[in-house]
Amino acid sequence: MLGLALGVAVWSARGAATSAARAAVYPDHPITIVVTFPPGGGTDLLARKIGAALAEDIGQPVVVENRPGASGNIGARAVAQAAPDGYTLLMVNSSFAITPGVFSKLDFSPEQDFAAVINVAFVPSVIVTRGDAGFTDLPAVLARDPAGTTVPYASCGNGTPQHLAGEMLRLRSGAPLQQVPYKGCGPALTDVLSGHVPLGIVTASSAVPFIESGRLRALAVSSAERSLLLPEVPAVAEFDMAGYELNQWHGLLAPAGTPPEVIDRLNAAVAAIMARPGLRNHLLDLGFAPTASSAAEFDRLVRADIARFTALTQSLGLRVD
């Protein structure tokens, strides 16, 4: 028994030493960042900006691979099944935390199959109307008679953060809001601008140019506090709805089991990139609020959002078999 115990101890020590040695030389070949959206979107743009800077810093190529489909589940599954060595990462946004509450059958676990690396940016949603429309502020929307005609709002699609932001507002205020889902924020904005839908709830990054030109009027943002992107626009929480918040995050995940040393290396490298004034200002211009979290902080954020979004989608009956 003593010999067996010593053998196990030696094996464990050798395993730990091997893991530490691998982490010490990490990375020694290209890293792939999988994006669960098509090229050209905000999450893809972030992945490419971070990937290019990371490649320069670590001396290894960083390849961005787009794997859209099934609400992000195809790309997520691929990373969940990848080797936990830090060479395959997943760039996601808050939609990742909505998936468990919407899909009754997943062949991966968003909570068990991934390790958080870092949160890099927030983008709130913004409630907008046409610049010449009748709604001048959010109270004018919420003052509608709940028993009267519904107020349609365009969202970026069923089960998106913008859809949930609208449903949270409807439940908290009692206003007769009715979602009109679109296939993306772009088409939703088009119909708000044309007057086909009186309201829209879209990402702030997509709406800022139209707000600045006066073609859209911003009524409120969904972040807990006013956003750096739209500092003059009140938060929904300011209208007697304390605690209302849905601030869409963007971050990196790795397969579960990735060595802590590798997670720490990635976190430190990406945090340093996000702290660079040039990149921060560029991302702000594009509509992102850059940030940098510890891996533990990001893990808590993802898990908390999975729990609250699952409760919300279940209450709405939003489920895909």
What CA–CA distance (Å, rounded) separates 47 from 92?
Answer: 9
Instruction: Please report the pLDDT score of residue 291 as a whole number.
Output: 95
Q: Are 272 and 214 in contact (CB under 8 A)?
A: no
Q: Where are the domains of the chain?
A: 31-122+247-316, 124-238
SS3 labels along 176-211: CEEEEECCCHHHHHHHHHHCCCCEEEEEHHHHHHHH
**CA 201/CA 141 separation, integer angstroms:** 13
- Sign of the alpha-carbon torsion through 58, 62, 68, 70: negative
pLDDT at 153: 97
* The predicted structure's pLDDT at residue 16: 47
Alpha carbon distance 66, 139 (integer Å): 41
Angle formed at CA 44 by CA 196 and CA 221, multiple of 5 degrees: 45
Q: One-letter amino acid identity for 114?
A: F
Pull the structure tokens for residue 173: 């205020």
pLDDT of residue 21: 53
Phi/psi zone of residue 67: left (φ > 0), alpha (ψ -120 to 50 degrees), beta? beta
Query: What is the total residue count of the chain?
Result: 321
Q: Of 239, 41, 219, 195, which is closest to residue 126 (Cα–Cα)?
A: 219
Position 84 scores a pLDDT of 98
Sign of CA dihedral 181, 182, 188, 192: negative
State the pLDDT at residue 318.
85
CATH class of 31-122+247-316: alpha beta
175 Cα distance to chain centroid: 27
Beta strands in the chain (DSSP E): 31-35, 62-66, 88-93, 114-130, 151-155, 177-181, 199-203, 216-221, 247-255, 289-290
Averaged over successive runs of 10 residues, the pLDDT of the chain (321 residues) comes to: 48 49 80 91 91 96 92 93 98 94 89 97 95 91 79 92 95 94 90 96 91 96 92 96 95 98 98 96 89 97 96 87 60
How far is 188 from 212, CA to CA, in rounded Å? Answer: 18
- Which fold does the domain 124-238 belong to in CATH? D-Maltodextrin-Binding Protein; domain 2 (3.40.190)
- DSSP at 143: T
Domains 31-122+247-316 and 124-238 share a fold: yes
Tokens of 100: 């468990």
Q: Can you give the pTM of this predicted structure?
A: 0.85
Q: Which amino acid is at 209?
A: P
**What's the one-letter identity of residue 239?**
F
- C-alpha closest to that of 128 among 180, 202, 186, 231: 202
d(CA 256, CA 267): 15
